[in-house]
Structure 1
Amino acid sequence: MINIIKVNSEQQFNETGAGIIASLLQSNPRAILGLATGGTPVGVYQKLVELYREGVVSFKQASSYNLDEYVGLPENHPESYRRFMNEKLFNHIDIPIENTHVPSGNSEKAAEEYTRLLEKAGQIDLQLLGVGHNGHIGFNEPSENLHGPTHIVELDELTRQANARYFPSIEEVPTHAVTMGIGTILQAKQILLMAKGADKAEIVAKALKGPITTQCPASLLQTHANVVVVLDQAAGGLL
């Protein structure tokens, strides 16, 4: 079942996303969170930091598992997702750093190691997702076949171009990433998909209302029992 929430401002967008995550932690302090990177959740993380500082929510007993990481980037690289998470969220809240997990971009066995880690952790309580312009979730790109567990993926050229704004040049954007698989994502108890901007309207409509196909990985969310979608008016413009 997909529950769509449309909001009227950036502030509402961030407050709604953060509120859903905070509510989970208030009812289940030991929640296992699946987290995402990219531009979409930055404001949500800022709001969660505010809520923590106000004493509304604590992450002390929670744990987190990130969706993905670039292959070949060391943890301290400016664009590594480990560094992103530390700077945008983890360094500003009370979550023990050893309870935060991001796949390694520098281990040949990174996918196998992360798959075992996720199996040991158990079911993710809430998985936060954005959606790529080509319908990818995590770095699960459109394909004839999608992998269930964590795996290494070659990044679509559209994805690399979209992420080039974070790097000095397109040549420096990694060509591969390690990503949580579709199977693992769909096993989460609840999925929170967030998208904003008119440039996401077409893919959002395709993902939520179009045919279910591996050529649009986000469309597989239609098969999940508990999906909340938070959209600004522009991203929800075609729904």
Structure 2
Amino acid sequence: MEVIIAPDHELATLVADAVERLLREESSPVLGLATGSSPLRVYDELARRHEQDKLSFAGARGFMLDEYVGLPISHPQCYRNVIDAEFVSRVDFGDAAVQGPNGAAEDLVAASAEYDHAIAEVGGIDLQILGIGTDGHIAFNEPGSSLCSRTRVKTLADQTRLDNARFFNGDVDQVPRHCLTQGLGTIREARHLMLIATGGNKAEAVHQMVEGPVSSMWPATVLQMHPHATILVDDAAASRLQLGDYYRQTYANKLDRQRL
């Protein structure tokens, strides 16, 4: 696990650099796309590079982390609509190149298995963008989630629904109680995980993820077991890290041959 502590805009640039390198080096790259506030600067930077530098996503595929269950597909907070507005419609992905779990399926168990199969069929995800919740969840894997879990139905924790109420006009009662989410085992199969966290409200979750014991009580700690996980945090989110100075020193003294 590599920890990078830098200002928010620099973190977004680093993730965008990794995505651009993948797009330019691979003929059929597969991206894992997160929703929420954490990756917005990354998507803005990638959209800028597409418009100004002709960075193309035409050969890429994308898979979303999760989707609400019970929202009509036309609802603006349906994650397929959110990711389209925030990113997909701003670049040149091919038709149907980006897909997410089907939260409107009649058989949610079958839809979950089909989603994992679709990821496997394209050879897995090359680079997965992640955020983290204040309770340590990644995707919608709430505390108590199995570290080997696959895409499945989950019940959202009250804290998660409170955190997401801002997207529903502040009304927590409008936030769905269930979702389909990639499992921690599914996420761990991506070849490179890049998690972004900013703000002091994420500090405890970041501390537990990076320096705490691996535990289902803090689901993001599963990233400690991944061979290529990059954690990108600003000073506020890093404020609880006991080894913060060491992480800064390590990043400042990387060898030239070392890359994200």
**TM-score with structure 1 length normalisation?**
0.95
Which consecutive residues of structure 1, in runs of 5 or more, have no partner in the other structure? Answer: none
Cα offset, 1:75, TM superposition: 2.4
Check conservation: 1:29, 1:59, Cα contact below 8 A: no
User: C-alpha deviations, 1:113-146, integer Å up to 9, x for none?
Assistant: 2122122222210111100111111101111635
For 1:200, the equivalent position in structure 2 comes to: 202
For 1:115, the equivalent position in structure 2 comes to: 116
Range 142-151 or range 213-222, more displaced = 142-151
Q: Secondary structure at the match of 1:54?
A: helix
For 2:247, the equivalent position in structure 1 comes to: none
| Partners of 2:200 and 2:11 in 1: CA distance | 14
Aligned pairs for 1:143-158 within 5 A = 143=144, 145-146=146-147, 148-158=149-159
Match of 1:66 among 50, 64, 67: 64
RMSD: 1.3
Q: 1:144 to 1:97 in 2, by over 3 A?
A: closer
Check conservation: 1:115, 1:150, Cα contact below 8 A: yes
Range 115-124 or range 61-70, more displaced = 115-124
Check conservation: 2:154, 2:178, Cα contact below 8 A: yes
Read off the aligned partner of 2:6 and give its amino acid letter: V
Cα offset, 1:4, TM superposition: 1.1
Identity across aligned pairs (percent)?
A: 36
Aligned residues: 237
Cα offset, 1:229, TM superposition: 1.1
Check conservation: 2:145, 2:219, Cα contact below 8 A: no
Aligned pairs for 1:1-239 within 5 A = 2-8=1-7, 10-107=8-105, 108-109=107-108, 110-143=111-144, 145-146=146-147, 148-168=149-169, 169-239=171-241
Q: 1:33 to 1:144 in 2, by over 3 A?
A: closer
For 2:256, the equivalent position in structure 1 comes to: none
Larger radius of gyration: 2
Check conservation: 2:147, 2:222, Cα contact below 8 A: no
Q: Secondary structure at the match of 1:145?
A: coil
**TM-score with structure 2 length normalisation?**
0.88
| Partners of 2:192 and 2:134 in 1: CA distance | 23
Cα offset, 1:56, TM superposition: 4.9
Q: Secondary structure at the match of 1:105?
A: coil
Check conservation: 2:151, 2:181, Cα contact below 8 A: yes
| Partners of 1:129 and 1:97 in 2: CA distance | 24
